[in-house]
Structure 1
Amino acid sequence: MRMVSARLENFVKELASGELVPYLGPGALTGSVDTATQEPIPADSDSLILAMNNGRPMSPRLMWEFSRAAMDVELKRGRGAVHRFLEATYDTRSWTRSPLHDWLQSIRPPYVIDINRDLQLQDSYADAPHTLVRGIARTGGTDYRFRIHAYDGETYREVAQDEVDPSLPVLFKPMGSPRPDATYIASDADFVDYLTELMGGFGIPSFVKRYRTGKRYLFLGLRFTRDTERMVMSDMIYGAGSPAGWALIPEPTEKERRFCATKNVEILEADIGDLLAVAGVSDPMRELIPGGHEIGC
């Protein structure tokens, strides 16, 4: 345990300095609840499916992954139905902040990857200029699968790759978000288009490609049991250092161990609560942070 604590202490320092890039999965939102109902924010695949289907489970085939369920809804009610659900969830409703996001706000890393679709990361930088990169899919008029917005401390303005200020923090949300305007990667059809272009090099801005060379990552609240998250991660960390990073997974499966080994990512059997404790965060929700466990994983 002493060795784990020492590793976590190094992670805390390296996240703050930018030597280590936080890569946020659904577990990063643990502890965030609806301000009116105290209902946990839908973040992982199962909770998103249940929320989208009015609390009712879908068929076992569709329950396997949110993108499948979203594709089913899209085929029956249109793509707009999925996007309206995500906007109502992440833009209209009011949520408390997760303990991890509160801590990240206090250190403001220079580069963060967040595969969630909520606004907490952007809110953490709301009073500071930054660059926002979000994934797009099935969009005409461009060869790329991203949009870039510059934030001046008050408003967002869409910019081209060569207009980005390299001195500003970069928030990369490949699955999109509601702000400044809604864009999401959600259904199977979205992922087919996005991942194809991501693998072809058209899903990452050139300035990010340069910046990420040799970087190492800390995967927080992310399980590697589903193909979608694994494929996105593989391309997002292309050109990483050696090792590529570490993943906090309290009870990793053999499948996760094998995958992380192929990506040169070391698993540390700890969770987000352990990291926050080492960082000196005292929060009553800390013991509830399970490091990204998902039902049915």
Structure 2
Amino acid sequence: MNSQLNTLAQGIRSGDIIPYLGPGALTGATDTANGQPIPADSDSLILAMNNGKPMSEKLMWEFPRAAMNVELKRGRGAVTRFLNTTYAERTWTRAPLHAWLASLLPRYVIDTNRDTQLQASYAGVPHTLVRGISRIAGTDYRFRIDHYDGTAYREIAQEAVDPALPVLFKPMGSPLPDAVFIASDADYVDYLTELMGGFAIPSFLKSYRQGRQYVFLGLRLLRDTERMVMSDIIYGAGTPAGWALIPEPSEKERRFCERQRIEIIAADIPDLLAAAQSGARAAAGDADTRAEVGC
């Protein structure tokens, strides 16, 4: 398994394998003020949104359902304010996976979280930011594109994208440069409809994704929402489509991944980071040996 994980780490490093990040990618990130872990998965987001208290069993099933309930009672702005306060106004330590990705700066990363750690990894590095949008009139598309010049973002049309720059695709949105999120059931209904129709992914990413392979990190595939988003985003993937790091996969996840041509590896992000570190040490040792023999 270690050799396979090392191969995946090398593939991420070379750009041959695209990282696809789920909530587990933020494991290890904590609030610098009180040490609390960053809310990332469905349950932790619901608890944070409801002042630490569980909601009804029906609403606890999935964050979009709970967010829809809040939206209906207090307005859409209440959900946006919660996510913006959580991810833009509080200070979090770096998750180990993001610290590693910052050392690599991959050509293309898909991040289904709503935080800013991925964007922080590319601070000072020009890149293209693509974020999902929903329920917005005046556009045929369900994405927004911003160009980052190394200091600030500005919105651009997809025809103006520089193909040489790294692309950060955050389909569920982020607070930067402004608060744009896919969160409630109503958001997902609109976004997924247009995603399936091809209007939620820019044309340059549709071309780039053909034949590509992915590694799914920190992503459980138990709920239909995550499964539908993922399967449409990676449409046109290679064979295999990729590898999913799931320590204890359920039978439901096994069946889904088999249909999607995704190989499950019973490991987690710390195992990948350990393999990457081991591989880097081995490569450095080989380089030193070659230098000593005059190669």
Same fold (TM over 0.5): yes
Q: Following superposition, which runs of at least 4 residues in structure 1 exceed 3 angstroms of deviation? A: none
Are residues 1:82 and 2:98 paired?
no
SS of 1:252's equivalent in the other structure is coil
- The structure having more radius of gyration, on CA atoms, is 2
Q: Partner residue of 2:291?
A: none
Aligned to 1:289: none
- Residues 94-147 of structure 1: per-residue CA shift (max 9 Å, x gap): 000100000000011100000000000000001100000000000000000000
Alignment partners' CA distance in 2, 1:64 and 1:227: 12
Measured after TM superposition, the shift of residue 56 of structure 1 is 0.3
Counterpart among 7, 11, 22 of residue 10 in structure 1: 7
Q: 1:226 aligns with which of 223, 227, 231?
A: 223
Output the TM-score relative to the length of structure 2: 0.94
User: What CA deviation, in whole Å up to 9, does each residue of 1:27-62 have, x standing for no partner?
Assistant: 000000000100000000000000000000000000
Aligned-residue offset at 1:231: 0.4
Per-residue deviation, residues 54-88 of structure 1 (Å, max 9, x unmatched):
00000000000000000000000000000000000
Which residue matches 1:112? 109
Task: From 38, 53, 57, give the equivalent of 1:56.
Answer: 53
Residue segments in structure 1 that go unaligned for 5+ positions in a row: 282-297
Match of 2:159 in 1: 162
Instruction: Provide the C-alpha distance between the structure 2 equivalents of 1:99 and 1:36, rounded to a whole number of angstroms.
Output: 19
- Match for residue 129 of structure 2? 132
Q: Where do 1:204-283 residues align within 5 Å? A: 204-280=201-277
Alignment-derived partner of residue 25 in structure 1: 22
Other-structure match for 2:38:
41
Q: Indicate yes or no: 2:183 matched with 1:186.
A: yes
SS in 1 for 2:123: coil
Cα distance per residue 1:224-257 (max 9 Å; x no partner): 0011100000100000000000000000000000
- Find the aligned partners of 2:106 and 2:123 in 1 and give their Cα distance: 14
Q: Which residue of 2 aligns with 1:151?
A: 148
Supply the AA of the counterpart residue of 2:120. D
How many angstroms apart in 1 are the aligned matches of 2:14 and 2:134?
A: 33
Q: Distance in 2 between matches of 1:16 and 1:130?
A: 17
Aligned residue among 139, 144, 147 for 1:142: 139
For residues 134-186 of structure 1, what are the alpha-carbon distances to aligned partners after superposition, in whole Å with 9 as ceiling and x for unaligned? 00000000000000001110011111011000000000000000000110000
Structure 2 CA distance, aligned partners of 1:187 and 1:21? 27
| Secondary structure in structure 2 of the residue aligned to 1:28 | helix
2:289: which partner in 1?
none
Which ranges in structure 2 are unaligned for 5 or more consecutive residues? 279-295
Aligned alpha-carbon RMSD (Å)? 0.6
Q: Which position in structure 2 is the counterpart of 1:291?
A: none
Supply the AA of the counterpart residue of 2:59.
Answer: L
Structure 1 length-normalised TM? 0.93
Query: How many angstroms apart in 1 are the aligned matches of 2:9 and 2:160?
Result: 32
Identity of aligned residues (%): 71
1:123 aligned partner: 120
Shift of residue 280 of structure 1? 1.3
CA distance in 1, matches of 2:117, 2:157: 25
Query: Separation in 2 of the partners of 1:258 and 1:224?
Result: 10
Matched residue of 2:169: which SS? strand
CA distance in 1, matches of 2:14, 2:162: 19
Structure 1 Cα separation of the partners of residues 13 and 157 of structure 2? 28
In the alignment, residue 263 of structure 2 is paired with which amino acid? E
Give the counterpart letter for 1:137 in structure 2: S
Matched, 1:101 2:98: yes
**What residue identity is the alignment partner of 2:272?**
L
